[in-house]
Structure 1
Amino acid sequence: TQAAAPLRVQIASDIHLEFFKNKIPPLEEIIQPKAPVLALLGDICALGTEEKRPVYRSFLEQCVLKWDVVIVLAGNHEYYSDYNKKTTVQQVNEWLRATCAELKKPAHFLQDASIVLSNVRIAGATLWTDIPLSQTVEVAQSPECVEYKLNDFRKCFTSALDPNKTKENQAKARALQASDTNSWHKRSVAFIKAEAEAAAKAEQNLLVLTHHSPTFQNTSNKEGEGKEYMKYCASTDLEHMFKGIHTWCHGHTHFNGDQSIKGTRVVSNQRGYTFENVDGYNTECVIEVPRARVGCRRRGMCSMM
């Protein structure tokens, strides 16, 4: 029998609608519909400042009318907030989840969550980076460390108590710390590992979608080399997890690529800031994931590679 056509997923990230000073350009200038599924991999628009939210909601409303399925991730910039307001990560997650559910056709907000489309398991997360203790202010005792340099630790806020009780803890908001993002990183890693196991058990291919990058290999601009703190701003070495993952798509680095590492395809398609000229952004970037699990030949079945 003829093999089923692969699942086609269009990807885009780092559109940064918040930086458009005037009117947002037409959707087709940003993304041209070329696949049934659209995955927005974060940094689409800052949402901690409430006046930007209608812009993002309008963008999503257009997307759900053009694609059969829309998947939404939060990047670090989605959480950026004014210091006086201190909108928390938890509140932004709450808004995104509610907004995606309220659209004319609901979108899927994936924060350590997954969906299965046509026998392909899709797992999504922000996947904050893993910041070593040597890159924290307390240990480094120097401004040349991630926790000092990165705007995330000045412009993102969190509830000081139970992160699941947003409203009760609104008054307790404080700036993010590396200990917060490291904790979320570990939670996302555990989630992705569990999804890989579930996909294998169900004989599904796994597509992982994250904002931050899962490898240091060719995912960031070479200009950052030589500055130790730069690598931990964007990526974590998770190549040991690649086995069992068909494709891993990410954003965040404003550096586009398509490569194979340890049998896993690693792809990014990032537009970048309005004042940047990011090479390689494609308004029609589509990846394909076979509906039959790669590697099932070991069980005498088939291989779709």
Structure 2
Amino acid sequence: MKVQYCSDLHLEFAQNEKFLADNPIQAVGDILVLAGDIIYWEPENFKHRFFDYVSDHFKAVYYIPGNHEFYSGKEVQILDRPVFEPLRENVFLVNNKVVNIEGFDFFFTLFWSHIPVNEELIIERRINDFYKIRHKGKKLRSPDFNRLHEESLNFLTQESKRSTADKKVVVTHHIPSQLCNPDQFRNSQINPAFVSEHYDFIADSDIDYWIYGHHHINMPETEINGTKLVTNQ
């Protein structure tokens, strides 16, 4: 089985939509993993021809939402429960779910990030998530962000320990370690909105691969105690 992966296509922008129509994804894998920020979470958007294309060219497609999926009004509390929504017969929107494929366990979760209390104010002022995303009828706040992150981390902790699969693959939108962050971002004041440091969690796990996205930089493969961290965005 070959797994192909990408993220951050941002089809809500016309220039990206046109580029992908002119330069469609070349299928070299059996399974396609989409690690978030593909298109706004709206029923009409899920009719987009992109999903027809990937359905026709891959055996199965698994798609986790990113933060931008919620920029058009879909309230983020939908993630308070696991998500497994078929968009086509073989295309699935997933979050906080484990899917076993040919002996591999895939752990799908958006992951968010953890924002320290002393950095909440500047991040809420500068990051669009806190203007665009709604939670129970109100603007998203840092405590909501952190709760969602903790839920994702608890999901990964519990399910990865429970798994007896031969191989374990984690798929998140947000970034799990500063080792996956480009140098130009590491000292940014808004860095906590993108990445949380989980080096120890990864090093102590038996996760084989971790696919991530979010910062729009194709970083080289990174390894933490046998776990390969990879991205394609």
Instruction: Give the TM-score of the pair, scaled to structure 1.
Output: 0.69
Which one-letter code corresponds to 1:221 in the other structure? P
Q: Among residues 83, 87, 107, which one is paired with 2:91 in the alignment? A: 107
In the other structure, the counterpart of 2:74 is: 87
How many residues are treated as equivalent by the alignment? 229
CA deviations over 1:278-297 (Å, ceiling 9, x no partner) = xxxxxxxxxxxxxxxxxxxx
Moved more, 63-72 or 255-264: 255-264
Aligned counterparts of 1:174 and 1:111: Cα–Cα separation in 2: 22
**Structure 1 alignment gaps of length 5 or more:** 1-6, 138-144, 160-172, 271-305
Matched, 1:133 2:93: no
In the other structure, the counterpart of 1:64 is: 55
Aligned-pair identity (%) = 26
Aligned pairs for 1:35-74 (under 5 A) are: 35-47=29-41, 53=45, 57-74=48-65
In the other structure, the counterpart of 1:150 is: 127
In the other structure, the counterpart of 2:227 is: 264
Aligned counterparts of 1:36 and 1:23: Cα–Cα separation in 2: 23
SS in 1 for 2:168: strand
Which one-letter code corresponds to 1:226 in the other structure? N
Q: Give the superposition deviation at 1:26.
A: 5.0
Instruction: Give the TM-score of the pair, scaled to structure 2.
Output: 0.89
Matched, 1:247 2:232: no
Q: Aligned in 2, Cα 1:156/1:112: closer, same or farther, shift over 3 Å?
A: same
Q: Give the superposition deviation at 1:30.
A: 4.0
Which one-letter code corresponds to 1:76 in the other structure? N
Q: Which has the larger radius of gyration?
A: 1
Aligned counterparts of 2:22 and 2:34: Cα–Cα separation in 1: 15
Which one-letter code corresponds to 1:152 in the other structure? D
C-alpha root-mean-square deviation of aligned residues, in Å? 2.4
Select the structure with the greater relative contact order (CA < 8 A; seq sep ≥ 6): 1
Aligned pairs for 1:1-305 (under 5 A) are: 7-21=1-15, 24-25=18-19, 29-47=23-41, 53=45, 57-81=48-72, 86-90=73-77, 97=84, 100-103=85-88, 105-137=89-121, 145-159=122-136, 173-199=137-163, 202-217=164-179, 219-227=180-188, 229-242=189-202, 243-257=205-219, 258-270=221-233
Matched-pair contact (CA < 8 Å) for 1:129–1:181: yes
Matched-pair contact (CA < 8 Å) for 2:222–2:228: yes
Q: Aligned in 2, Cα 1:92/1:248: closer, same or farther, shift over 3 Å?
A: closer
**Structure 2 alignment gaps of length 5 or more:** none
Matched-pair contact (CA < 8 Å) for 1:220–1:254: no
Q: Aligned in 2, Cα 1:57/1:194: closer, same or farther, shift over 3 Å?
A: farther
Q: Give the superposition deviation at 1:39.
A: 0.2
Aligned counterparts of 1:241 and 1:92: Cα–Cα separation in 2: 23
Which one-letter code corresponds to 1:69 in the other structure? A
Q: Give the superposition deviation at 1:198.
A: 1.9
SS in 1 for 2:12: helix
Aligned counterparts of 2:152 and 2:162: Cα–Cα separation in 1: 15
Which one has the bigger strand percentage?
A: 2
CA deviations over 1:27-62 (Å, ceiling 9, x no partner) = 5714210011000000111236x76x15x6321122
Q: Aligned in 2, Cα 1:23/1:220: closer, same or farther, shift over 3 Å?
A: closer
Q: Give the superposition deviation at 1:225.
A: 3.8
Q: Give the superposition deviation at 1:203.
A: 4.2
Q: Aligned in 2, Cα 1:61/1:262: closer, same or farther, shift over 3 Å?
A: same
Q: Give the superposition deviation at 1:241.
A: 1.9
